[in-house]
Amino acid sequence: MNVLLTSIGKRIELIGHLKSRFRVIGADASPLNAAKRFTDVFYQIPKCREAGYAEALLDICKREKVLLLVPLYEPEFEILDRERRRFEEIGVKIVLSDGEVLAICGDKRRTAAFFEKYGIPAPRTFSPEEVEEMIAGKKTEYPLVLKPVNGMGSEGIFFARNRGELAFFYEYAGKPLVQRCVTGREYTVDVLCDFFGEPVYIVPRIRLEVLSGEVSKSRVDLQGYVMEETKRLLDALNKEGRVCGPVTIQCFLSEDGLSLSFIEINPRFGGGVPLAFAAGADYAGALEKMGEGLRAGENGKVLAAAVRPDLKPFREREIKELTMLRYMQAVYE
């Protein structure tokens, strides 16, 4: 079975995990990427916003007889969501959540509105009018966090400890989202959902150290409350659109363990997901089973999953509470 990964960059551990079950084809706009050394085949393609991007991927899929396409870079998601039909017509299933889910996850104001709509615990988000009132002198509690509405990773995030800092950073960052700053134990939850929106794996891990927006030290912690609330969040998200494939969710658990605040949903693989693999989450095996359940219609079109595959052996697999300590390696060419 063949899988195509886009924007492979340095996703070497992900590629290695998937190669346990798949022939992995990699694609990236830059030939200067380390991960190409670890794929079975590599293709250089246009950038996602350049002409010919979708056509290049369609050509690769035809040439390599790809069944599953897994995009790894968020700016690609909206483009590929619009092109789903073209890929399905040649027998390719894009492992990506529906457009409605992508829109909620990709805009932090919509994420905050989603949390409020379904009663998902989250920090309070202030409207632009409320922020202007606070800058003008209305009393509020500090610190506050300011983040880009469409940001990625930790880029463009500022913390305001008083009214002066709020006024400065709000103007400097172009009037970003302003929220209460939450504290406690920070979790990232690695999730894999099947084609019906049902979670196969929910693996919480503590973020012990983060460098340049990517986790460098982390530990699996199967905290029951975090897992239960994550499942409730996914159930709510499936009411807006179908969740599919990898999802990475971030939250804070209070020091007393009694309250939780979700801050972000990313419909993609997180940088620290190799820890979930090492702890026993066989994403590759589950994706293979999902691929086997796809139904091909006339002329090989992918129509749907014919039957819900039996993923019970994967859901019930024991997950170990491991710690991950990352280090840097290099390849040479």
- E-strand spans in 162-314? 177-180, 185-193, 199-211, 214-220, 245-253, 260-266, 294-296, 302-305
Q: pTM above 0.85? A: yes
Residue 302: its pLDDT value, please? Answer: 78
Element (H, E) at 274: helix 273-278
**What gap in Å lies between CA 306 and CA 280, rounded to an integer?**
28
- Residue-wise pLDDT tens digits, 253-285: 999 999 999 999 999 999 999 999 999 999 999
**What gap in Å lies between CA 241 and CA 136, rounded to an integer?**
40
Residue 154: its pLDDT value, please? Answer: 67
* Token code pair at residue 92: 């390719």
Residue 319: its pLDDT value, please? Answer: 96
SS3 label, residue 227? helix
Kindly indicate the confidence band of residue 308, based on its pLDDT and cuts at 50, 70 and 90: confident
Residue 153: its pLDDT value, please? Answer: 62
Averaged over 169-179, what is the pLDDT?
Answer: 94
- Residue-wise pLDDT tens digits, 75-112: 999 999 999 999 999 999 999 999 999 999 999 999 99
Query: Of 105, 100, 49, 39, whose CA–CA distance to 70 is shortest?
Result: 39
